[in-house]
Amino acid sequence: MIRFIIIFVLFFVSCGYCANVLIIFPMPGKSHYILGNGLAKGLAKHGFNVTLVSPFEEKHLPENYNQIVLDGILKKMEEQFRKSVNVFEFGDASPILQALFMNSWSAEMTEDFFAHPKVQKLLKSRDHFDVVVIEQFVNDATKIFAYHFGAPLIVASSLGPNYWVNSLVGNPEPPAYVPSSFLNFNYEMSFSERLYNFLFGIFYQINTHLFIYPKQNKLLKKYYPDGPNLSDIMYNVSLVLLNSHESINGAVPIVPNMIHIGGYHIAPPKRLPEDLQHFLDSSKHGVIYFSLGSNVIPSQMPDATRDAILKVLGSRKENILWKWDQDSVVNQPSNFKLSKWFPQQDILAHPNIKLFITHCGLLSTTETIYHGVPILGFPVFGDQKMNAVRAATLGIGKFIPFSKINEHNLEEVINELLDNPKYLQNAKYRSQLMHDRPVKPMDLAIYWIDYVIRHKGAPHLQVAGVKLPLYKYLMLDVLAIIFALVFTILYAVYRIVKQFRTRKVKEKKH
């Protein structure tokens, strides 16, 4: 009995230690906040003391969950970016132009973050944090927070393994079968695709080291003048949490301190609001759910594209749920229900959802696969095109580039997706793969964050490659010596042969 009491007391004493976790998700995008807030809530429920820094605010938080809301940043982004850039037009830009746009845009977003009074107050504080989690999105200067608080650094990637995180932990990304997130290639690439992927990778490495990192280092020095250079802190990453899973993203190399937790933000389905519940329950032919996510403004799409969508979907027997940013749409069909916001996860969980028309953002793609719903992709920009290609490759859907949508191909594709059972079967199979995991993704994230805290940053998980300069990691010095040696041997052979022939010619003349 005494032994039982001792074990019981020790258990609660050990559980009584609550680590302090600082989570920074500075991107003014709703999908990014969903990931940051989901992680923060999961840790808070587990007993951690959590502080989340982001441009968004949520009410009714647990006692051990504190939010630092960067008010004003979201409004500025909407005014300067969303109102001035039409993503439907920008989506047709080349990957190189999109990458170059990220240079200036990401630097501006990072400066807005550091210049915020609440961030400055936090950066000058002497608060104690046991670990710092920072979203990686071309904002490397923010890693100074881990240095300032003397805490292990964990990077959260809103994507799977990619350029932005691979170099931080020495993770390989063979261009033969790992395509860039900017390209709409599948893992099995043709010769021309592999060539383009290889050359684009070189371009992005040059762009990163000559433009992105210097800008980020300049911002770091501006707002933390007494701190180290960016190169001295950015590779000191204890763990990378990847918003990915093999059931969706495919199998790629990852080093020991990279962990797949894709789907961790998905919550058990709840009952829908009464009007939506009735709409879905009473739709005897099913419902097609249509949403372009939180960053795309649907009303900015070309009139011809909008009219084609309305005509084709309006003639369907299924009812249509359409996330639209205005109260109404011109010539709205009778089978349409519009709203500026829908509880997407709960809708996808409803058995009457037959098809999800989506921009193929990674969160939306993850959620529809989780619930086993086929996809019709309308990719616009960024990684959406690659996600759409993967969905088609997995046989869970098809896609039409937004600039190519017309009545004929839209009707043809929808008929194929709804009439051919293979798409639903493949979606259900991928859903099974996503659910068939030994540990829930949130529990996995909690375990590894706690592991990093317990083992003081867990440096034993870091591969030696992360400490090598780029020329050593790529074996450029070795290749240079081999090339020089081969060239020297060939040149020596050439000279010997030439001298031998010259001597033979002279002997013949004599």
Q: What is the pLDDT of residue 4?
A: 41
Residue 154 main-chain phi, psi, to 5 deg: -115, 130
pLDDT at 8 over 80: no
Q: Are residues 422 and 325 in the same domain?
A: yes
Choose among 400, 241, 276: nearest CA to 348.
276
Q: Are residues 427 and 501 in the same domain?
A: no
- CATH code for the domain in which residue 281 is found: 3.40.50.2000
Q: Are residues 84 and 190 in the same domain?
A: yes
Q: What is the pLDDT of residues 405-461, one digit of tens each?
A: 999 999 999 999 999 999 999 999 999 999 999 999 999 999 999 999 999 999 999
Confidence of residue 181 (pLDDT cuts 50, 70, 90): confident
Least confident stretch, 30-34, 194-198, 499-503: 499-503
CB-side neighbour CA atoms (13 Å) of 53: 21
Whether residue 12 lies inside any domain: the answer is no
pLDDT at 7 over 50: no
- d(Cα 170, Cα 249) in Å, to the nearest integer? 20
Confidence of residue 154 (pLDDT cuts 50, 70, 90): very high
Neighbours of 23 (CB within 10 A): 27
pLDDT at 260 over 50: yes
- By CB neighbour count within 10 A (0-12 exposed, 13-18 middle, 19+ buried), where does 127 fall? exposed
Q: Are residues 411 and 505 in the same domain?
A: no
Whether residue 111 lies inside any domain: the answer is yes
* Cβ contacts of 219 within 8 Å, gap of 6 or more: 107, 110, 111, 114, 141
Neighbours of 11 (CB within 10 A): 10
Q: Are residues 318 and 450 in the same domain?
A: no
pLDDT at 13 over 50: no
Q: What is the pLDDT of residues 365-412, one digit of tens each?
A: 999 999 999 999 998 877 888 899 999 999 999 999 888 999 999 999
Q: Are residues 224 and 346 in the same domain?
A: no
- d(Cα 217, Cα 228) in Å, to the nearest integer? 9
* Cβ contacts of 435 within 8 Å, gap of 6 or more: 370
Q: What is the pLDDT of residue 80?
A: 66
Whether residue 315 lies inside any domain: the answer is yes
Q: What is the pLDDT of residue 90?
A: 64
Residue 87 in tokens: 């993503």
pTM across the whole model: 0.88
Across residues 210-216, what is the average pLDDT?
Answer: 93
Q: Are residues 114 and 170 in the same domain?
A: yes
What is the total count of domains within the chain? 3
The range of the structural domain enclosing residue 150 comes to 19-264+440-467
Task: Say if CB 29 and CB 295 are below 8 A apart.
Answer: yes
Q: Are residues 287 and 182 in the same domain?
A: no
Q: Are residues 65 and 144 in the same domain?
A: yes
- d(Cα 147, Cα 153) in Å, to the nearest integer? 8
Q: What is the pLDDT of residue 91?
A: 63
Please report the sign of the dihedral spanned by the C-alpha atoms of residue 310, residue 311, residue 314, residue 317: negative
Q: pLDDT exceeding 90 applies to what percent of the chain?
A: 67
Whether residue 10 lies inside any domain: the answer is no
Q: What is the pLDDT of residue 277?
A: 94
The CA–CA distances, whole Å, from 411 to 305, 329, 365 equal 13, 20, 22
Q: What is the pLDDT of residue 482?
A: 94
The CA–CA distances, whole Å, from 44 to 41, 57, 118, 188, 445 equal 5, 16, 22, 41, 12
Q: What is the pLDDT of residues 88-115, one digit of tens each?
A: 766 667 888 888 887 888 888 999 999 9
Q: Which of 247-251, 361-365, 499-503 has the highest mean pLDDT?
A: 361-365
Q: What is the pLDDT of residues 216-249, one digit of tens each?
A: 999 999 999 998 999 999 999 999 999 999 988 8
Q: What is the pLDDT of residue 307?
A: 93
Q: What is the pLDDT of residues 27-78, one digit of tens each?
A: 988 889 999 999 999 999 999 999 999 999 988 888 899 999 999 888 887 7
Total residues found in the chain within this entry: 510
The terminus-to-terminus CA distance of the chain in angstroms comes to 113
Whether residue 76 lies inside any domain: the answer is yes
Task: Say if CB 384 and CB 98 are below 8 A apart.
Answer: no
Residue 131 in tokens: 């670990």
Q: What is the pLDDT of residue 184?
A: 83
pLDDT at 16 over 80: no
pLDDT at 79 over 80: no
As a whole number, the mean pLDDT across the chain is 89
Give the residue from 376, 411, 435 where a domain finishes. 435
Q: 337 forms bridges with which residues in the sheet? A: 321
Q: Are residues 55 and 169 in the same domain?
A: yes
Whether residue 13 lies inside any domain: the answer is no
Q: Are residues 73 and 186 in the same domain?
A: yes
Whether residue 379 lies inside any domain: the answer is yes
- d(Cα 159, Cα 161) in Å, to the nearest integer? 7
Q: Are residues 345 and 444 in the same domain?
A: no
Whether residue 11 lies inside any domain: the answer is no
